[in-house]
Amino acid sequence: MGSYRFILSGGGTGGHIYPAVAIANELKRRYPDAEFLFVGAKDKMEMEKVPNAGYRIEGLWISGLQRKLTFKNLLFPFKLLSSLMKAGKIVNKFKPDVVIGTGGFASGPLLKRASAKGIPCVLQEQNSYAGITNKLLAKKSQKICVAYDHMEQFFPQDKIVKTGNPVRGDLVTNNVTKKEALVYYQLDENKPTLVVLGGSLGARRINQLIEKELRFFNDLGIQVLWQCGKLYYNEYKKYQSETVKVFDFLNKMDFTYAAADIVISRAGAGSVSELCIVGKPVIFIPSPNVAEDHQTKNASALAVKNAAIMIKESDLNMQFESVFSALFKDEERREILGRNCKEMAMPNATHDIVNEIEKLLKK
């Protein structure tokens, strides 16, 4: 047998890209001679992030349907045809042994073409509510790796394997001490630290909230480590101070989580999985603007198990200060939330997903 060949496809957001890269890294560790190709959407962040991780990527001219009638929607049939043709060419030329889709629009045409040629396909669904692309691809896929229970409402029961979501390896083996993390970020060891995460692109509503509440945090004696996102950095960097550290993007997440006493975060699947592994008390503020409102569903899955707190954007003005100060003043509640959160973690996800891929190779 020559060396194996794998195509991975997923993108649009960090939540689809990081799992694909984590899976590729584990496959590469087991099969150092294997060849890899990523397929993404032409103008999305994967075109930058994947080469940074050391992999080759090809872009398809594809985007999702907008909810309202727009010029982009009129282009959709042409984009789809163009992408199906290009995906067919990529599959014919690269001849993969297995194709892995982690969600996002580009994975649709690619897995459709690969499965039509009888190439085994594996889906990885990060959310508690399946995305439209994965639902459409489920029939033709051999295995569907999921992170939540009750996914048989979307997928054939006999194909589902509960593995959890791949997260960055440095979080699973996090050896950073709180002291090292606070020194790294030049924060005060004697003050509690709030970490604010708005996802890879930032979150306008969370940024507006933090800006409004800076004095409230200051009065409680809390210092803030604030990832505001690339799009918003110029607007918020003016708040940089001894007790407020503003970043466009936090790269060293092991240090970030080690510094945290409380976390405020969006509820994308990747963030939720990471936060479970580090077991910190979290207030989730789900984005209401994502497909099928899956962030609310992700956050609810933890909130019902007393593993996190969820506040909807529409309730922030009324509820935020009272919910936050109650949590801040109740150390026991913080410990319980962190512990329950950690119990939901699945730290071996990447390993388990690659085991499923290996079974298909051996067939």
Q: Which residue has the higher pLDDT, 12 or 122?
A: 122
| pLDDT at residue number 202 | 80
Q: What is the residue type of 19?
A: P
pTM of the predicted model, to two decimals? 0.85
Is 133 annotated to bind a ligand? Reply is no
User: For 279-296, how does the pLDDT look when each residue is reduced to its tens digit (9 = 90+)?
Assistant: 999 999 999 988 778 899
The Cα–Cα gap between 183 and 362 comes to 49
- The residue with tokens 């509690």 is 192
pLDDT at 256 over 80: yes
Q: Is residue 258 a contact partner of residue 209, using CB atoms and an 8 Å limit?
A: no
Q: Do domains 5-167+347-362 and 170-343 have the same CATH topology?
A: yes
Is 193 annotated to bind a ligand? Reply is no
pLDDT at 336 over 80: yes
| pLDDT at residue number 331 | 97
CA 122 → CA 111, 166, 275, distances in Å? Answer: 9, 14, 25
Cα–Cα–Cα angle for 13, 16, 21, rounded to 5 degrees: 115
Q: Is residue 267 a contact partner of residue 309, using CB atoms and an 8 Å limit?
A: no
pLDDT band at 44 (very low <50, low <70, confident <90, very high): confident
CA 345 → CA 18, 62, 147, 247, distances in Å? Answer: 17, 34, 10, 27
| pLDDT at residue number 340 | 97
Stretch 312-331: mean pLDDT:
97
Is 13 annotated to bind a ligand? Reply is yes
Specify the length of the chain in residues: 363
Is 127 annotated to bind a ligand? Reply is yes
pLDDT band at 60 (very low <50, low <70, confident <90, very high): confident
Q: Which residue has the higher pLDDT, 103 or 316?
A: 316
Stretch 217-246: mean pLDDT:
96
Residues ≥6 apart with Cβ < 8 Å to 322? none
pLDDT band at 42 (very low <50, low <70, confident <90, very high): confident
pLDDT at 271 over 60: yes
Q: Which residue has the higher pLDDT, 198 or 157?
A: 157
Q: What is the residue type of 359?
A: K
Stretch 77-85: mean pLDDT:
80
- Helix axis angle, 269-278 to 14-30, nearest 10°: 60
Percent of the chain having pLDDT more than 90?
Answer: 71
Nearest to 275 by CA among 186, 321, 352, 343: 343
Is 289 annotated to bind a ligand? Reply is no
Q: Which residue has the higher pLDDT, 148 or 290?
A: 148
The Cα–Cα gap between 272 and 299 comes to 8
Backbone angles phi, psi at 125, to 5 degrees: -105, 115
| pLDDT at residue number 65 | 54
Nearest to 252 by CA among 326, 330, 195, 327: 195
If one looks up domain 5-167+347-362 in CATH, what number appears?
3.40.50.2000
If one looks up domain 170-343 in CATH, what number appears?
3.40.50.2000
Mean pLDDT of the chain: 91
Stretch 34-46: mean pLDDT:
90
| pLDDT at residue number 66 | 53
Domains of the chain: which residue ranges? Answer: 5-167+347-362, 170-343
